[in-house]
A and B are shown apart, each in its own frame.
Chain A
């Protein structure tokens, strides 16, 4: 009985406290949580660089001058949905975090999106790719920044099929992201008149691709599509070189490749790879200037598109909090969708009702070693895909938030 009374009192105290802060910033503090992979497969793509990007956004927003207290915390989800959702839950429940950012690995992003929705907070995805986040798993508390599997599939897939790569074999990472990427790319290939000759699934974090590559070789498909990311992609590309796949007349299509992967592979191995990204540090003067500041704070490493996305998302989030005068997750997300976006990295863009951020995408090709003037000078921009065409049309996603 005593316990019940005590808990009731505690609950009442919370309720009172929460009620009075309804139209204000909770606890007087905006707490931003950067949750990503800091020690494993995707640590170079996101990792501590994303935290640097978040802090830069807080600085550039001028929070201190506006009298807003903003704090950035970070954690490692190790690419495991249980670890990620536990950290998210603890952050929301006890550590007063208001918004979570980044979260590579689609299975973790889906779990965190769920927790965020339950708690009415905000989730800005920059690292994960599954287009389900704005499709059947869309949520009024989640915005998908930077890129998604549909954008990648559409950009890379159609470009390759149109230039003659019309028979495909998929080597797919066996989780949400891999399946989504394979599904979206297959749809594009078929739509453009190509054929899919076969598929093979591999576990996440595979070291030895020899068996899968052999199957790809014997399928005689012109294009081997790598529906995976990070270390899996680089491993597959390296071992493909070892097994003479490209010499044998087949080509590799990296469906999700980041600047850090090319840096790790080296131009000798990676030259000629074609893929799609939504940010490159060398696009224009603004991106170059920003990259200089970023690299100085990030040990010389240039930003990947996921890290750039974190910057852009935090900036827009803070603007929305300022405009809406609250850090209540659902309200801020709604405000973010109302306001058009503008930042030095992605230019002007918008956020749709299904939570998808729209901006242009770029088809890039990796330079030959002779064409590169220095470290990180890796891409040639082959084409720019305008924002309206880069992402899946809003009515094709089965998102329950979108009125038909």
Chain B
């Protein structure tokens, strides 16, 4: 679904390195001008979108149920921090682990089909997770898990201090981002792209395509979980919104707007969408309308997305 990007040569990597430094600097300075909780939200969702993009942009699989990983990890992290008293880094790891496990189960079921059927399976399974979360006592149903303590990182650093929390989220985001970057630019990533372009040829070359797809799926799910687990600590709340299918739709929107198959696209998309939601919040339902309009415009006329268009103009992959 995305444009074919040529193998990155040394000087093209510089471009991406510059972009990365710009992005890291922007996020480092942002809390000085903008509301820190807002920027933390952007980073969590940016990571979520990057994880989603790994699947759609580089493997070509549209998952319409990614909220289940994001939300499930959010609940797991919130529960472990609040009820079991785990320190934040353990809570986040636990949440991520849950999402990874769920990703393995869902992936094993969904990978067997492609295209539309794959999307429909992920949607159906996500709905099951949603209804499970609606009923299960530990999630608190409509109330969600509230008053989640931020705790002390490693038992030492007090995270109720806004700056410490920000640094944690910043580190998680950059870490996750770099991991995705490494995966995409590795031999593994090349095989994934090959599968996206022409699966039968990849099979004929001897690659166990299903294993690669499953691994990519699990990776994507785990990183989405990382985003969700962190988000639960930022907002100290885990709720049904995180597992609802509209959340899955939102991450698709962010990635589409930013640019499918680009590295920085999802980050830009997440930043734009969340900012827009924030400023248009007073306008209530107009947010939904604007989101819909962006979807339509992107699909009809702007398929490369923001970063994709910039990359196309620069003739360099981003």
Which residues of A pack against B, CB within 8 Å? 3, 6-7, 10, 38-39, 75-76, 80-83, 85-87, 89-90, 93-94, 106-107, 110-111, 114, 174-176, 203-204
Contact = CB atoms under 8 A, between A and B. Distances in A.
Given A38-B284, A90-B35, A204 B237 contact: no
Nearest to A114: B147
A93 B241 contact: no
Interface string B124-162: 000000000010000001111011000000000000000
B208 to A, nearest CB: 41
B237 A82 contact: yes
Contact of A39 (B236, B242, B284): B284
A82 B235 contact: yes
A76 B284 contact: yes
A87 B37 CA distance: 11
Nearest to B142: A175
Contacts of B236: 85
Contacts of B28: 3
Contacts of A80: 239, 241
Given A38-B284, A176-B143, A93 B35 contact: yes
B32 A111 contact: no
A75 B242 CA distance: 21
A343 B144 CA distance: 37
Secondary structure call for the B interface = helix
B163 A174 contact: no
B282 interface: yes
Interface in B20-55: 28, 32, 35, 37-38
B19 interface: no
Given A81-B237, A86-B235, A89-B37, A110 B32 contact: no
Contacts of B163: 7
Given A75-B281, A90-B37, A94-B35, A82 B147 contact: no
B4 interface: no
B314 interface: no
Interface in B30-83: 32, 35, 37-38
A176 B142 contact: yes
Given A85-B235, A106-B143, A107-B146, 14 more contacts: A7-B32, A76-B281, A81-B143, A81-B237, A82-B144, A85-B146, A94-B35, A110-B143, A111-B144, A111-B146, A114-B147, A174-B142, A175-B143, A204-B142
A196 B163 CA distance: 53
A114 B28 CA distance: 29
Contacts of A106: 143
A262 to B, nearest CB: 25
Contacts of B143: 81, 106-107, 110-111, 175-176
Nearest to A11: B163
B34 to A, nearest CB: 9
A374 B235 CA distance: 48
B285 interface: yes
A110 B146 contact: yes
A6 B281 CA distance: 31
17 contacts: A6-B32, A75-B281, A76-B281, A80-B239, A81-B143, A81-B239, A82-B144, A82-B241, A83-B241, A85-B235, A93-B35, A93-B37, A107-B144, A114-B146, A114-B147, A176-B142, A176-B143
A80 B293 CA distance: 24
A76 B147 CA distance: 21
A113 to B, nearest CB: 9
Given A3-B28, A39-B285, A75-B281, A81 B35 contact: no
B142 A107 contact: yes
Contacts of A3: 28
A221 to B, nearest CB: 24
A85 B284 CA distance: 17
Contacts of A6: 32
Contacts of B241: 80, 82-83
Interface string B236-260: 1101011000000000000000000
Nearest to A38: B284
A82 B239 contact: yes
A207 to B, nearest CB: 16
A175 to B, nearest CB: 3
Contacts of B239: 80-82
A237 to B, nearest CB: 22
A214 B237 CA distance: 36
A43 to B, nearest CB: 10
A81 B146 contact: yes
Nearest to A76: B284
Contacts of B235: 82, 85-86
Contacts of B282: 75
A175 B35 contact: no
A176 B140 CA distance: 9
Q: Chain A CB within 10 Å — which of B35, B144, B282, B285 has the most?
A: B144
Contacts of A204: 142
A90 B241 CA distance: 19
Interface in B265-297: 281-282, 284-285
Nearest to A10: B32
